Amino acid sequence: MMRGTTILCVRRNNTVAMAGDGQVTLGEQVIKEGARKVRRLYDGKILTGFAGGTADAMTLLERFEKRLSEHSGNLMRAASELVKDWRMDRALRRLEAMMLAADRTTTLLLSGSGDVLEPEGNACAIGSGAGYALAAARAFLESPEGGAEDIARRSLTIASRICIYTNDSITLEVLEG
């Protein structure tokens, strides 16, 4: 389990929302409260969020952006190539991070152990508060009320009240279909 953050991706009615908290911890100490762990890539068409070591995640984001450019924004191809690099490259293998990536149609969970997973359902989460945020999102998705953005924000707020490594300084990015 990655300690130190929560990232959640929610899909509803042709809208994709990805939210992440802003807390950065070093051991048991909060170092920063407003970090930006959710970003737009490839001219704003791809949402990404990371959990794990900040420097490791930045390295992965840089590599992922390069792969997206090489594959003309094809999320699955870029993700597969990144994970192949991550698993096989001696330096990258040591990185401790996980990543969510989404475009208008697909959400992917990427890990250094070679995983490129397309989660079932309309919500996916990573990080220390993932279970809390995912449970809340699934419960909110059972109701016809609320859009993806509202559900992501409310679910992450719930996770921030339970997980000590997650705060309520939320970054939220949205892709509308």
Please give the C-alpha separations between residue 12 and each of 21, 22, 80, 124, in angstroms, as whole numbers. Answer: 21, 24, 25, 13
In the chain the first and final C-alpha atoms are separated, in Å, by 32
Burial class (CB in 10 A: 0-12, 13-18, 19+), 1: exposed
Residue 158 CA, chain-centre distance (Å), reads 17
φ and ψ of 61, to 5 deg = -60, -40
Contact 38, 19 (CB under 8 A): yes
Distance CA 96, CA 19 (A): 20
Q: How far is CA 155 from CA 35, 83, 115, 134, 166, in A?
A: 19, 28, 25, 7, 12
157 carries an active-site annotation: no
Strand, helix or coil for residue 115: coil
Exactly one of 5, 6, 107, 166 is catalytic; which is it?
5
The set of catalytic residues is: 5
